[in-house]
Amino acid sequence: MTYVAKGWLIKKREHGKIIFLDMRTIDQPWIPLQVVIKKQEVDEITWENAKKLRQEASFIAEGELIQNPRAPGGRELRGKQIIIVHNPEEPWPLGKKSHPPEVLMKYRHLSVRGQKFIKIWIVREKLIHYLREWFEKNHWHEVSPPIFVMTACEGGATLFRVKWFEEKIPVYLTQSAQLYLEALCFALGRVWCLAPSFRAEKSRTRRHLAEYWHLEAEAAFFNFEDNLRVQEELVIYAIKKLLNDDVTGELIKEIRGNVDDLDEIKAPLPRVTYTEAMEILQRKNFKIKWGDDLGADEEKALSEEIGTAFFLTHFPTEIKSFYVKLDPNDPRVCLAADLIVPHVGEIIGGSERETDVNELIKRIKAQGFDPTNYEWYLDLRRFGSVPHSGFGLGIDRFLMYILKLEHIRDTLPFPRLARVKYFI
Ligand code: NSS
């Protein structure tokens, strides 16, 4: 079959009268295409062109596509013609050897073409595709929330202030679309969105970004347990679809190695209350008392003990945001749950929402905010309020878990990390 491949040179090997070109093609960028050029079989221009190609040169190769089990992807192109589109004058700045993360960040605009990164971008794309597919199949409505906001959702400490024209009004980048989804779920019933969220987290950790992709969902007539069921169904659906997909199934194995733990995950996921978690941690000699928030180390110890993804539920009300509903059976705790996974920790935060206006006003004040800024949000409880629940899934953290990546910066092409002085 005659085939025209368009792409870039990954690597060239010259063996006398044969040249092998490993090409990244626009059709299947995740599998290098081996192009074989034999001196006797091509004209002089093509032979000279093949010899001239430098790393990341762009070119078009035409020839016969044949099966070759020893070539990557099981196929190779017996090249008949090579047309150079652009041959770089300078050597590829990233060379052939591996580089430290700072160098890779400075050259991110180029390192996004690396073979490992391309595989990650493909899995990321498909992950979002399957998550969206779940919502479509289950008749949830996709909505578009704002990014500029005037109210905090997750406490004031991590808000990014922005200059709003010449005004001195407080405008911020959104931490979460939740409050808007609450308004919209009373319009449409079940809503979801995928949008960036922004957190001015000062700490530099392997799982914090200043800008991350947040998948959020909110549903009317939904209680705490309904909410957990949707989360586990959604997360497990996306994992199974990725593993069963011909392309991503292979890519995940290549990047992560063993996938048994992903394969075995099934609903219902274990539910562990905060109080039970405290007992586990105290048994493991953590210096922690009831009421303390849990950090990465605590989450890691818990997931090692439980051995699979699980929901951590019923947190003390004080450590969660103002909107969570109090547990009617024990008002010291609230109807909030985090989904904790091995290797990463929390990937989802969700809850049933408080519907009592006075309780909300009290809690908004207790968190240091002015309830008058939340009048619109309180109105949602004044006009046709119903029990409702929702959650937020960090796409980047979810991908970190699926691919077992060491650092969240490698889950997306242009990561925004705290305290970095320069980014492209
Ligand atoms: O703060 S959350 O736990 N919850 C919310 O924002 C709710 N308002 C969501 C909702 O109910 N609609 O954040 C949710 C998830 C969390 O579990 C992480 O997976 C992710 O968002 N997240 C982050 N990912 C990367 N970097 C940072 N800094 C970050 N912060 C949260």
| CA neighbor of 422 nearest in space, from 191, 181, 105 | 105
Residue 351 structure tokens:
């809850």
Indicate the pTM of the whole model.
0.97
Distance CA 409, CA 423 (A): 12
Q: What pLDDT, on a 0 to 100 scale, did the predictor assign at position 422?
A: 85
Going from the Cα of 392 to the center of ligand 1, the distance in angstroms, rounded, reads 6
Nearest residue (CA) to ligand 1, atom 4: 349
Beta strand 211-220 with 388-394 is antiparallel
395-405 as b/e, with b when 16 or more CB fall inside 10 Å? bbbbbbbbbbb
Whether pLDDT at 95 is above 80? no
Q: What pLDDT, on a 0 to 100 scale, did the predictor assign at position 160?
A: 97
Going from the Cα of 348 to the center of ligand 1, the distance in angstroms, rounded, reads 6
Q: Tens digit of pLDDT for each residue in 104-118?
A: 788 999 999 999 999
Q: Tens digit of pLDDT for each residue in 129-172?
A: 999 999 999 999 999 999 999 999 999 889 999 999 999 999 99
Ligand 1 site residues, Cβ closer than 6 angstroms:
153-154, 176, 178, 199, 201, 208-209, 212, 214, 216, 346-350, 390-392, 394, 396-397
Q: Is 277 exposed, middle or buried (0-12, 13-18, 19+ CB in 10 A)?
A: buried
Per-residue pLDDT band at 204 (split at 50, 70, 90): confident
Q: What pLDDT, on a 0 to 100 scale, did the predictor assign at position 103?
A: 80
- Give the domain ranges of the chain: 3-86, 110-411
Nearest residue (CA) to ligand 1, atom 11: 391
Percentage above 70 pLDDT, the chain:
100
Choice from 172, 208, 214 to test ligand 1 binding pocket (greatest atom count within 8 A of CB): 214
Distance CA 237, CA 215 (A): 15
Nearest residue (CA) to ligand 1, atom 2: 349
Per-residue pLDDT band at 82 (split at 50, 70, 90): very high
Q: What pLDDT, on a 0 to 100 scale, did the predictor assign at position 97?
A: 76
Going from the Cα of 178 to the center of ligand 1, the distance in angstroms, rounded, reads 10
Q: What pLDDT, on a 0 to 100 scale, did the predictor assign at position 420?
A: 86
Which CATH class, in words, describes the domain spanning 110-411? alpha beta
Going from the Cα of 227 to the center of ligand 1, the distance in angstroms, rounded, reads 16
Nearest residue (CA) to ligand 1, atom 9: 392
Residue 116 structure tokens:
């490992």
Whether pLDDT at 98 is above 90? no
Q: Tens digit of pLDDT for each residue in 46-65?
A: 999 999 999 999 999 999 99
Q: What pLDDT, on a 0 to 100 scale, did the predictor assign at position 60?
A: 98
Q: Who's near 172: CB < 8 A, 6+ residues apart? A: 148, 149, 150, 152, 159, 160, 161, 162, 198
Choice from 153, 175, 176 to test ligand 1 binding pocket (greatest atom count within 8 A of CB): 176
Q: Which CATH fold topology does 3-86 show?
A: OB fold (Dihydrolipoamide Acetyltransferase, E2P) (2.40.50)
Task: Answer yes or no: same fold for 3-86 and 110-411.
Answer: no
Among 192-196, 295-299, 388-392, the least confident range:
295-299
Average pLDDT over residues 116-130: 98
Directed axis angle between helix 395-403 and helix 115-137, to 10°?
Answer: 120
Nearest residue (CA) to ligand 1, atom 31: 394
Going from the Cα of 395 to the center of ligand 1, the distance in angstroms, rounded, reads 10
Order of strands across the sheet with 345-352? 141-142, 190-198, 211-220, 388-394, 345-352, 336-341, 310-313, 271-273
> What ligand 1 atom has the least distance to the C-alpha of 210?
28
User: Beta-carbon neighbour count of residue 224 at 10 Å?
Assistant: 22
Going from the Cα of 171 to the center of ligand 1, the distance in angstroms, rounded, reads 20
Going from the Cα of 92 to the center of ligand 1, the distance in angstroms, rounded, reads 38
Choice from 193, 325, 348 to test ligand 1 binding pocket (greatest atom count within 8 A of CB): 348
Tell me the DSSP string of 225-269. Answer: HHHHHHHHHHHHHHHHHHHHSHHHHHHHHHHHS--HHHHH--SSP
Going from the Cα of 391 to the center of ligand 1, the distance in angstroms, rounded, reads 9
Going from the Cα of 399 to the center of ligand 1, the distance in angstroms, rounded, reads 14
Whether pLDDT at 246 is above 80? yes
Going from the Cα of 323 to the center of ligand 1, the distance in angstroms, rounded, reads 14
Q: Tens digit of pLDDT for each residue in 402-413?
A: 999 999 999 999
Whether pLDDT at 302 is above 80? yes
Nearest residue (CA) to ligand 1, atom 27: 208
Directed axis angle between helix 375-382 and helix 178-188, to 10°?
Answer: 30
Q: Tens digit of pLDDT for each residue in 354-382?
A: 999 999 999 999 999 999 999 999 999 99
Contact 101, 206 (CB under 8 A): no
Choice from 124, 346, 352 to test ligand 1 binding pocket (greatest atom count within 8 A of CB): 346
CA distances from 277 to 161, 232, 280, 292, 340 (A): 36, 20, 5, 12, 12
Q: What pLDDT, on a 0 to 100 scale, did the predictor assign at position 144?
A: 98
Choice from 140, 160, 197, 389 to test ligand 1 binding pocket (greatest atom count within 8 A of CB): 197
Going from the Cα of 201 to the center of ligand 1, the distance in angstroms, rounded, reads 12
Choice from 199, 201, 335, 417 to test ligand 1 binding pocket (greatest atom count within 8 A of CB): 199
Contact 348, 322 (CB under 8 A): no
Going from the Cα of 28 to the center of ligand 1, the distance in angstroms, rounded, reads 33
Going from the Cα of 259 to the center of ligand 1, the distance in angstroms, rounded, reads 26
Residue whose tokens read 């073409």: 113
